[in-house]
Amino acid sequence: MPTPILQTDTGPLMHKAVEEATRLLKAGEVVALPTETVYGLAADALNPEAVAKVFEAKERPSFDPLIVHLPNKKALDQVAEVPADIQPVVQKIIEQMWPGPLTIVLPKKPCVPDIVTAGLPSVAVRVSKNAVFRRVAEALGRPIAAPSANRFGSISPTSAGAVAAELDDRIPLIVDGGACLCGIESTIIKIEPGSPKPIITILRPGPITPDDLKVYGKVKHASRTVVDEATEAPGQLASHYAPRTPLRLLSKPEDFIPEPGKRYALMSYRGDVEDGYTGLTEWVHVQILSPGKGKLPEAAVRFFYVLRELDGLGVDEIIAEPMFEHGMGIAMMDKLRRAAVKH
C-alpha cells in the first residue's frame, strides 16, 4: 500500500495531520515530518522500539547516531546535561539560535536510549522552527528522534514527494509541509571550555555558518571522516548524501575529459559560461543551483532537489561544479565530497 500523504495548507488539514501524526508517534510508529532543513523520519526518542523502526525503514547502520528534536528550549534538561564550564555560552547560543537549524552535542541523560546515540555518552539536540514539526512535537510532549527521511546514504528529501520516492510503503504516514526553507541539514556543533573564549567545533557544516558562531567563541572545523565507522554526530561518514548515479566534483574545468559514448549531466553553481563548465561537452542536461546570481542561500534551497533531478536522468555520470567555500557553501561542498566518495 502506498504511504498516505496528509496536507497542511489549511487550518483543518493542519489539525488533522498533526492529530494523526501525534497518534502514530504515541503508538510507537514512525512518521515523516517537514523541518526547516530537510524532511525527517520521526519517532518518540525515548521509545527504543520506535527508534528501531527508524533504523529499519532507512536501512541505517546502528553506529550512526540520531538528532533529538525538542518540543521547546526548556525541554533541554530532559535529555542532556550542560556542563557548568560551558553553561553560559550554551545558554547564549540557544537563546539566539533556537528554534532553528543548529544542533548541539551535549552529555546525555540516562533516559535517552543507547540506540539513539549509537552507544555514545553524548546526544545531539535541537529545536526545529518548522510550524508543522513544532505543533507535532508540542502535541506529543516528548523529544523526537528524526534523521532525514530517506534511505541511508542517499539524497536527503526536501519535499513530501521526495520522501515518498525514498520510503513509500515503508512508513505509515508522510505529512506534507511544503518545500523546506533551508534545504540542507542543520549545522552540528560541540562546545568546549577555552581561554579566553570557548571553543566551538563544527562537526557538520550547515545553514548556521562559522560567521554566525564566531561571536560566541573560537570556531574550528572537525577533520573530515575518511572511513565509514562510528562518529560523534550524524552526517560525518565518509560516504553520504549520494545519488545512485556516479558523481564527480570537478575542481577546475580543464580536469574534465569526456569519454566517448558516456552521457553526462552537469550540476552548475550559477550557469555562467565564463565559469568554464557549461561548454565542456554536450550535456544531457544542466541544472543550475542559483541561476546567474550565484547566491549561496538560494543554491542551498535547491541543492538536494537538483541532485535528485539529475539522478533521475539515467546518465552515466553527474559532474558537479565547485562553489565558493564560505558561508553555506562550506556545507554544500562537504556534501558533494561525501557524495563523490561512494563512487
Residues 61-120 pLDDT 10s: 888 899 999 999 999 999 999 999 999 999 999 999 999 999 999 999 999 999 999 999
Mean model confidence pLDDT for the chain: 94
Residues 202-249 pLDDT 10s: 999 999 999 999 999 999 998 765 444 556 777 666 566 789 999 999
Q: Check whether 239 is labelled as a binding-site residue.
A: no
Residue type present at position 167 = L
Q: Check whether 204 is labelled as a binding-site residue.
A: yes
Mode of pairing for the β-strands spanning 67-69 and 122-126: parallel
Q: Among 155, 176, 197, where does a domain finish?
A: 176
Here the CATH number for the domain that contains residue 298 is 3.40.50.11030
Residues 146-182 pLDDT 10s: 999 999 989 999 999 999 999 999 999 999 999 999 9
pLDDT at residue 342, as a whole number: 58
Q: Could you tell me the pTM of the whole model?
A: 0.93
Q: Check whether 37 is labelled as a binding-site residue.
A: yes
Specify if 165 maps to a domain: yes
Contacts of 259 (CB under 8 A, 6+ apart): none
When divided into structural domains, the chain yields a total of: 2
Q: Check whether 241 is labelled as a binding-site residue.
A: yes
The residue segments making up the domain with residue 313 are 247-341
Q: Check whether 278 is labelled as a binding-site residue.
A: no
Residues 260-302 pLDDT 10s: 999 999 999 999 999 999 999 999 999 999 998 889 999 999 9
Residues 48-74 pLDDT 10s: 999 999 999 999 988 889 999 999 999
pLDDT at residue 237, as a whole number: 66
Q: Check whether 156 is labelled as a binding-site residue.
A: yes
| DSSP bridge pairs for 264 | 317
pLDDT at residue 222, as a whole number: 86
Specify if 54 maps to a domain: yes
Distance of CA 98 to the CA centre of its chain: 16
Give me 67's grid cell: 538528532
Q: Check whether 62 is labelled as a binding-site residue.
A: no
Specify if 251 maps to a domain: yes
Q: Check whether 126 is labelled as a binding-site residue.
A: yes
CA pair distance 46, 243, nearest whole angstrom: 32
